[in-house]
Structure 1
Amino acid sequence: MDDETAEIELLEQNLNKTRQISQRMTTILSSFDTRLVKLEKSILPLYNSTQLLTRRARNIESALGKIDEIASYQEGIAAEEALVLRGPQPGQLHEYIEVVQRMNATIAFGMGDTGARDTARLVETGAKKVLQRYTELVAEASSGTPINGPDFELIPFDPAMIAALRPIVDFLRTLPLPRTHPSHPAAPAIQSALKEAQKGYGDMRGAWVKKCLEVYGKRAVERAGTIDAVNSGEEFGRFIQNMLNVAEDEYAVLNELAPLTAPSFIASTYTTLITPLTSLFSSTFSSLSALIKRSLHKYTILALSAYSCLLEYQEQWEDIMVNRSSRKDSNDLKDMLQAIRASCQRSFPEFLADIKIAASSSQGELSTGVVSVTMSTVEYLERLPDVREAAASMLKSLGDGNWKMGEGAQVGKAKRDDIDDRTILEHFTFDAVSMIVNTLQTLGRTNRRPAFGSIFLLNNISYLLTRLILKPRSPEIPALLSDPSKNMLQSNFRTAKAAYFDSNFSPLLQTLAEDKDKSKSATKEKFTRFFDLFEEVAERHTLARVLHDDDESRETVADEAVKLVVPSLQRFIQRNMGKDFSKNPKKYIKMSAEEVESLIKSFYLERDNMPPPAERATNNLLIQAGWSR
């Protein structure tokens, strides 16, 4: 109990000491807090002043930084402006384009009106400098010496130049235009510059491709009168094809390199580009048309061949040269097609008219050879299969039979839509054959010496028959002729051959014919008359060559002439030799029947190819008879 009391008292003493210590600490802290409050009150004004100075210092530093930044930016603007004004330098095109694009981008941000206008002028200047480089590269690609070989070679746009132009074109296509950037200050001026540069592209490329093609157009015109007519027409066809190929290639490159890609701008530029080509085409075909019109009968096949070529390329021309351009109402090929068509239509009646006029155009004595009207008619009919489609089209448009102007044909009354190509061609060739036969008959009759006229007619009719039916150069030639045409030629050949025998050998046979007077003097007169006439026949055949271009027919005529004359002469000699009509029969019988036969056969030997022995034998027979060539 006493121990517990002692502990309690000890605890109370410790508690009192702790309380006393706490009171003293509280007093000290209260005194310290009071002093801190006094200190704060005395320091606060200084603190506030220090904060204001610090804030001002930061503002000053920030202002100085902005000033430096603005100064640096202005220096950069000045440098970029100088770069833009100087233009793109070699190897720095990419950097130049970046500068112009960056300046163009600043216009979209909140710049003042003055700054935007100044920057816009620089963007415009930069765009024009790049356009100038664009034009220089296009001009470089459109210059030089074309390849003027015998065959046209397409010279494509240099791939290396396309690669150099592509980044320029990509930049130009990003420039502001009124349609895409209506508020951009430089948009109208930039669009105007782009349009001018694009038109320049069309002008330069058009002039270049014309330069590449024009030598071939001139060559085609110059050769038109010297080479085969069908080949000449085909050459013009190749000229058109080359022109279309060039236009097609240029159109593809234009779409790749045009700064303004709107369809209207492409069409306008393409029109500028192909205008020199269409002008070249028009001038070339105008020259061809003038050549044809000056001598239509000579160049009819050329006209038909050219018409076929124009017709073949009409659809392609429409697509490439008309539909893609802005000249929808202008079609040069169609205009030229109409001009050639008119010439072709006129050629058929004029061809027949020329044949008919030939019958009255001869002056003086005719030769017995094949005349020009016969050869030109055959040449015309031989070439007709090569242009049969064009010829049939022209004849059908003209009207069946309307080619016989002045022959009773009623123009516009004979057109038939159901007539086919073969029939219309057969009708025309029948009229042509009929006309040339009539002309030859008229010419043969006008010869003052009928015997020579018969040789003339036989030679010319034989030429027609051989070249058109018996030995044509092509199986397509007889196919043009109807059966009536073939029968007409064959019948007239037989008639001409009969007339030839009648005018040359019938007088011989008439002298050998029996009559009532069988006296010696009459017999002598018959022999004298026979050999005098035979001398005339020999001289005539020395001057006139019979069927010189047809060996087979010539041999047939020779055999028929021998069979016609020699048997009658043999019978007459046999009948009168036993009567002792003369003490010197050889005075009147100047040649034996065998010698007459040999001489007749010699009439039909080719003079250039006659074997020397045969020629000498013929001359000897004539000398023995007292004749000389």
Structure 2
Amino acid sequence: MDDEAAEIELLEQNLNKTRQISQRMISILSGFDTRLLKLEKSIMPLYSSTKRLNRRVSNIDRTIQYIGEMSGGQEDIAAEEGIIIRGPQSTELRAYTEAIDRLNASFAFKESGEDSSRTAQLVESGARKLAQLYTTIVAEASSGSPPQIREFTEPSASLAPFAPNLIDELLPIVSFLRTLPLPSTHPSHPAASSIQNALMDAQRGYADMRGSWSRKCLEADSRRAAAEFSDGALGSDEGRIRQGVDFALWIERMLDVAENEHSLLTELAILPSQLQAAYCTFLTPLLSLVSSALNQLTTRVKRALQQHAFLALAAYARLSSPNVSQRWDDIISRRSGKSARDQAAISGKKADINTNTLKEGLHSLRAVCLRSFPELLADIKLAAIPKGGAVDVGTGVVEICETVVKYLQQVPAVQDAVASALLTLGDGNWKMGEGLQVSKGPKLGEGDESVVLEHYLYDIIMTTVNTLTTMSRSNRRPAVGAIFLLNNVSYLSSAILDPSPTPYSDVPVAALLAPPARTALQSQFRTAKAGYFDANFSPLVQVLGDGAVAGITASGKAGTKEKFTRFYELLEELFERHRGAKVLPDDDGGRDAIAEEAVKLIVPSLQRFIQKNREKEFSKNPQKYIKLSPEEVERQIRSLY
């Protein structure tokens, strides 16, 4: 045990000595590290300075070498002159531009003299040849047959195409031309002014060619959008609404082209400082085309206002949206902060570009729309004026009633435009010429579009009903006139109050009507139905009554015989009238209801009359006067409907 304790003690002593030696080593290394850091901090500035000096020395050496090469190259410019005279080749464009660069660089090492003039002429010639190549490529991209585009929803990039491979050819040319000396950057360069004139001509040519090409590509669609709507599907009411939308879409396509071309011009302009002048030149043929298309559309609408009113309304509705107007303003001023009139002045042309083409066209369209509202009411009233006195109007639905229904069914498709235009016209001012105070309530303003639309629709409905009533009274046969009124009012009521979507919009006409309009229309239908029964069935009921009947003078049994005879004569006239005059031909449910009411009105009265007079034995041969039994009368009445 003593030996083990002694060994342990010896180990502890050795461990302590080792620990002491380690601490001293750590202390020595820490001091050494501190000295190294101090040394690094002392040497670092010297190292950085030496590095900068070395870089400067290298740059100086290379500059001296380059100057030597350039100076040596000025002894003979024959090689560059041959390249310039030969002109730029698409496969050797880099060699051509390097030759112009070397000629430009010579001005830094040569004094003015004959060689400098010759060099300046070569630089100018090279710049002009490059500008001509630029113009040639642009002309190639802006020629040929315009693309065939059938739908207005096709991508705008395909409207006025610029082949991507030609853009790739132009980009290096544009990049180099932008580096050529100009008076603003190299005022002492003898060729700067001539080079600037050449580049301005090339950029102006670019704008002219792209503007003419864009107009050519859009012109065919402009004719389709503004003119070709009188035949075929476009001659229908739905087609005219679609045509109005398509015309607005065509204007938006023009905006797409203008925006795309501005982006392209920004990329390919060789004089970025003259970008706005070039863009103004580009826009001129497009603005002219838009103005022509708008004038053509307005003129055609004026020639047949009621026929094409919704074409104008549909176009106006879309073109007056904030999105279109904002885009139009953008292409006119094009993010430059300058007005279009200023841009025209920059381009050196008179300010004859009508920058308000769209606004003036919309103003004309709106004026046409405003005129259509009172003219519609005037046309409805004019239809009530008989030509040549009382006439038979028949019993079918008349043209004016169909016209009104089609008109009202088209309103939901452009209700915002109609309401806005009506508000501009003024509440009730569509009643021009009546000599009445058109509005007794508070003046309507912005936000009351739905109210003024309700008032207008109410006036159309009531004017139409009044016209139909007047036309029915002009018939020489009141009973036929009553059928006419019932058929037309029923057609008007069922078409307008139908809750299903119209052929032109998902919104039904009934959704736009105020409760008074719906109530008035339903009341007019009930009045027309009552008039129908009064004119056709009341004489039959009166004959069967106990009171005196016009044309029957006898009394007692003789009077009863005359009443039976008169009743069946009137009944035969009724049957004959209804064989040629259908009641509610397109309303199966309405005919069944009319038949049921007619049966309830006539058959019970006939049964009571027959029963009462059979008991009195008014004749030895009653069948001679009772030609049809109540059951047969009921069957024949139902067969009429």
- Shorter-normalised TM range: 0.7 to 0.9
Q: CA offsets per residue over residues 320-379 of structure 1, 9 Å max, x none?
A: 234458634712111111111111111211121111111115564212111111111122
- Quote how far apart the aligned CAs of 1:186 are: 1.7
The equivalent of 2:371 in structure 1 is 346
The equivalent of 2:288 in structure 1 is 279
Task: Compute the TM-score of the two structures, normalised by the length of structure 1.
Answer: 0.80
SS at match of 1:112: coil
Amino acid across the alignment from 2:340: R
- Quote how far apart the aligned CAs of 1:87 are: 0.9
In the alignment, is the contact (CA less than 8 A) between 2:486 and 2:525 conserved in 1? Answer: yes
1:168-183 equivalent positions in 2, closer than 5 A: 168-183=173-188
The equivalent of 1:30 in structure 2 is none
In the alignment, is the contact (CA less than 8 A) between 2:392 and 2:475 conserved in 1? Answer: yes
Are residues 257 and 565 of structure 1, via their aligned partners in 2, closer, same or farther at CA, if it must alter by over 3 Å? Answer: same
RMSD: 2.5
The answer to whether structure 1 residue 360 and structure 2 residue 385 are counterparts is yes
SS at match of 1:347: helix
In the alignment, is the contact (CA less than 8 A) between 2:123 and 2:191 conserved in 1? Answer: yes
In the alignment, is the contact (CA less than 8 A) between 1:322 and 1:330 conserved in 2? Answer: no
Q: CA offsets per residue over residues 458-489 of structure 1, 9 Å max, x none?
A: 11111121111245535542232122211211
The equivalent of 1:163 in structure 2 is 168
The answer to whether structure 1 residue 204 and structure 2 residue 195 are counterparts is no
Amino acid across the alignment from 2:214: V
Could you tell me how far apart the structure 2 residues matched to 1:176 and 1:572 are?
Answer: 116
Amino acid across the alignment from 2:97: I
Could you tell me how far apart the structure 1 residues matched to 2:275 and 2:458 are?
Answer: 55
Are residues 72 and 114 of structure 1, via their aligned partners in 2, closer, same or farther at CA, if it must alter by over 3 Å? Answer: closer
SS at match of 2:127: helix
**From 486, 498, 511, the counterpart of 1:479:** 511
In the alignment, is the contact (CA less than 8 A) between 2:499 and 2:508 conserved in 1? Answer: no
1:300-319 equivalent positions in 2, closer than 5 A: 300-312=309-321, 313-319=324-330
**From 573, 576, 584, the counterpart of 1:536:** 573
1:40-59 equivalent positions in 2, closer than 5 A: none
Q: CA offsets per residue over residues 176-205 of structure 1, 9 Å max, x none?
A: 212222222222221111111111111111
In the alignment, is the contact (CA less than 8 A) between 2:560 and 2:618 conserved in 1? Answer: yes
- Quote how far apart the aligned CAs of 1:222 are: 4.1
Could you tell me how far apart the structure 1 residues matched to 2:293 and 2:96 are?
Answer: 47
In the alignment, is the contact (CA less than 8 A) between 1:467 and 1:473 conserved in 2? Answer: no
Could you tell me how far apart the structure 2 residues matched to 1:489 and 1:131 are?
Answer: 74
In the alignment, is the contact (CA less than 8 A) between 1:270 and 1:324 conserved in 2? Answer: no
Q: CA offsets per residue over residues 388-446 of structure 1, 9 Å max, x none?
A: 21112111111111111012356999853266122111111121112111111111111
In the alignment, is the contact (CA less than 8 A) between 1:169 and 1:259 conserved in 2? Answer: yes
Greater CA deviation, 152-161 or 302-311?
152-161
- Quote how far apart the aligned CAs of 1:266 are: 0.8
In the alignment, is the contact (CA less than 8 A) between 1:399 and 1:412 conserved in 2? Answer: no
The answer to whether structure 1 residue 147 and structure 2 residue 147 are counterparts is yes
**From 184, 194, 197, the counterpart of 2:189:** 184
- Quote how far apart the aligned CAs of 1:495 are: 1.0
In the alignment, is the contact (CA less than 8 A) between 1:148 and 1:215 conserved in 2? Answer: no
The answer to whether structure 1 residue 231 and structure 2 residue 242 are counterparts is yes
Could you tell me how far apart the structure 1 residues matched to 2:498 and 2:529 are?
Answer: 16
The equivalent of 2:612 in structure 1 is 575
- Quote how far apart the aligned CAs of 1:514 are: 2.4
Amino acid across the alignment from 1:282: S
Are residues 280 and 522 of structure 1, via their aligned partners in 2, closer, same or farther at CA, if it must alter by over 3 Å? Answer: same
- Quote how far apart the aligned CAs of 1:78 are: 2.8
In the alignment, is the contact (CA less than 8 A) between 1:359 and 1:439 conserved in 2? Answer: yes
Stretches of structure 1 that go unaligned for 5 or more consecutive residues are 1-68, 605-629
In the alignment, is the contact (CA less than 8 A) between 1:524 and 1:588 conserved in 2? Answer: yes
Are residues 101 and 410 of structure 1, via their aligned partners in 2, closer, same or farther at CA, if it must alter by over 3 Å? Answer: farther
In the alignment, is the contact (CA less than 8 A) between 2:301 and 2:309 conserved in 1? Answer: yes
Q: How many residues align?
A: 533
SS at match of 1:157: coil
SS at match of 1:403: helix
Q: CA offsets per residue over residues 60-88 of structure 1, 9 Å max, x none?
A: xxxxxxxxx999966x4233223212211
In the alignment, is the contact (CA less than 8 A) between 1:237 and 1:306 conserved in 2? Answer: yes
The answer to whether structure 1 residue 327 and structure 2 residue 340 are counterparts is yes
Q: CA offsets per residue over residues 252-282 of structure 1, 9 Å max, x none?
A: 11000010001xx111111222222222222
The equivalent of 1:555 in structure 2 is 592
In the alignment, is the contact (CA less than 8 A) between 1:318 and 1:331 conserved in 2? Answer: no
Stretches of structure 2 that go unaligned for 5 or more consecutive residues are 1-69, 342-353, 549-553
Are residues 338 and 507 of structure 1, via their aligned partners in 2, closer, same or farther at CA, if it must alter by over 3 Å? Answer: same
SS at match of 2:430: coil
The equivalent of 2:81 in structure 1 is 81
**From 211, 223, 227, the counterpart of 1:218:** 223
The answer to whether structure 1 residue 266 and structure 2 residue 293 are counterparts is no
The equivalent of 1:336 in structure 2 is 361
Could you tell me how far apart the structure 2 residues matched to 1:106 and 1:211 are?
Answer: 46
The equivalent of 1:123 in structure 2 is 123
SS at match of 1:359: coil
The equivalent of 1:17 in structure 2 is none
Greater CA deviation, 463-472 or 296-305?
463-472
Could you tell me how far apart the structure 2 residues matched to 1:148 and 1:389 are?
Answer: 34
Are residues 479 and 94 of structure 1, via their aligned partners in 2, closer, same or farther at CA, if it must alter by over 3 Å? Answer: same
SS at match of 2:431: coil
Amino acid across the alignment from 2:258: A
Structure number with larger C-alpha Rg: 1
- Quote how far apart the aligned CAs of 1:453 are: 0.9
The equivalent of 1:100 in structure 2 is 100
Could you tell me how far apart the structure 1 residues matched to 2:257 and 2:174 are?
Answer: 22
SS at match of 1:88: coil
In the alignment, is the contact (CA less than 8 A) between 2:208 and 2:281 conserved in 1? Answer: yes
Could you tell me how far apart the structure 1 residues matched to 2:476 and 2:417 are?
Answer: 43
Are residues 556 and 285 of structure 1, via their aligned partners in 2, closer, same or farther at CA, if it must alter by over 3 Å? Answer: same
The equivalent of 1:109 in structure 2 is 109
The equivalent of 2:60 in structure 1 is none
Amino acid across the alignment from 1:267: Q
The answer to whether structure 1 residue 458 and structure 2 residue 480 are counterparts is no
Are residues 411 and 163 of structure 1, via their aligned partners in 2, closer, same or farther at CA, if it must alter by over 3 Å? Answer: farther
Task: Compute the TM-score of the two structures, normalised by the length of structure 2.
Answer: 0.78
Could you tell me how far apart the structure 2 residues matched to 1:583 and 1:72 are?
Answer: 145
1:354-393 equivalent positions in 2, closer than 5 A: 354-360=379-385, 364-393=391-420
Could you tell me how far apart the structure 1 residues matched to 2:494 and 2:586 are?
Answer: 9
Could you tell me how far apart the structure 2 residues matched to 1:438 and 1:72 are?
Answer: 100
Amino acid across the alignment from 1:89: Q
1:410-429 equivalent positions in 2, closer than 5 A: 415-417=443-445, 420-429=448-457
Could you tell me how far apart the structure 1 residues matched to 2:203 and 2:135 are?
Answer: 9
Percent of aligned pairs sharing the same letter: 51
Q: CA offsets per residue over residues 283-316 of structure 1, 9 Å max, x none?
A: 2222211121111112222221111111121111
